[in-house]
Amino acid sequence: MKDFTVENLTEEVVKAYTSKTDSPRMKQVFSSLITHLHGFVKDVELTEAEWFAAIQFLTATGKKCDDKRQEFILLSDTLGASMLVDSINHPKGGAGTESTVLGPFYVPGAPEMPFGGDVRRRHLDAANPCLVTGKVCDAEGKPLAGATLDIWQTAANALYDVQDSDAPEWNLRGQFTTNERGEYALVTEQPVSYSVPTDGPVGDMLAAAGRHAFRPAHLHFLVSADGHETLTTHVFVKGDEYLDSDAVFATKETLVGDFKVCDDAERGKQFGLTVPFVTLAFDFGLMAS
């Protein structure tokens, strides 16, 4: 029988998790995970009270999750882990549009909408109507017909539909398909900056660290096309006060879009909008898979 000690425990645990599997990836991941976890505990000389507080925190995080609320994604996002995974898997420098985090508010299965369709399923007085247009191209700049853009965003009251019992189902969500020239068009509201949910353990963590909980205004996009990698991204609103301090570290310079006021009545009429309205023109590039 062996005595487990501070000196030998990490090595013994790594061995227990890696010696009986043939998977090289499992060996690598468990070895690193256990070494870093034990390293952290040793580094800060974690007290029993702190360890128990951490267990309670993770338990509360799990209890806060349901089909509309994903506190674990929020935890990963606010600790910068989601952005690290994103950055490692989608390094800078490619020809395609840069990616960013998915976030906890994506809901699959949004209604399919026609070219120029309107995702405002109610009209809030504070909302600025917004026309979003652009193209989806491959890495060589060739337009992609039949690409899908699944979009979602908060309303002018700074809430996603799934956070707001007064919002109609699928408010500010929809799936659009590019036409034969690779173009898309949709009508929505100009996005506003908003706070990530703070009524759970993640909110307590942000408060304890003295961090604000705001995200700069953005519109979410999941862009997909046959033979191409699906792009998870946002377009941020130029000039937003939180662009330099996003609560989830997910901003990228190339994803900032210029939302401009438009007075072109003819253009508005094409999409059922009266002037003035806001426009965003933004093209996406997808990498071949």
Using CB under 6 A as the criterion, which residues of the chain lie in contact with ligand BEZ when the complex forms? Answer: 74, 77, 101, 103-105, 196, 215, 248
Burial state string for 28-63 with b = 16 or more CB within 10 A and e = fewer than 16: eebbeebeeebeeeeeeeeeeeeeeeeeeeeeebee
| Cβ-based nearer residue to Fe ion, 135 or 218 | 218
What is the per-residue binding string for Fe ion in 189-218, x denoting contact by CB under 5 A? ------------------------------
| Joined tokens for residue 212 | 């604000």
Minimal distance, residue 242 CB to ligand BEZ, in Å? 12
Q: From the list Fe ion, ligand BEZ, none, which binds 280 (C-beta under 5 to 8 Å, kind-based)?
A: none
Alpha-carbon distance 38 to 33, whole Å? 8
User: For ligand BEZ, which residue has the nearest CB?
Assistant: 103
DSSP H or E segment with residue 237: strand 231-237
Using the contact rule CB under 5 A, the part of the chain among 57-65, 80-88, 102-110, 166-174 near Fe ion is: 102-110
For residue 136, give the nearest of 220, 228, 217, 238 by alpha carbon. 228
Minimal distance, residue 47 CB to Fe ion, in Å? 37
CB of 34 within 8 A of CB of 18? no
Minimal distance, residue 31 CB to Fe ion, in Å? 36
Q: DSSP E strands: which ranges in 143-229?
A: 148-152, 173-177, 183-189, 194-195, 214-215, 218-224
For residue 106, give the nearest of 143, 74, 142 by alpha carbon. 74
Using the contact rule CB under 5 A, the part of the chain among 31-39, 77-85, 103-111, 128-136 near Fe ion is: 103-111
Minimal distance, residue 215 CB to ligand BEZ, in Å? 5
Using the contact rule CB under 5 A, the part of the chain among 65-73, 95-103, 242-250, 271-279 near Fe ion is: 95-103
Q: Which residues bind Fe ion (CB under 5 A)?
A: 103
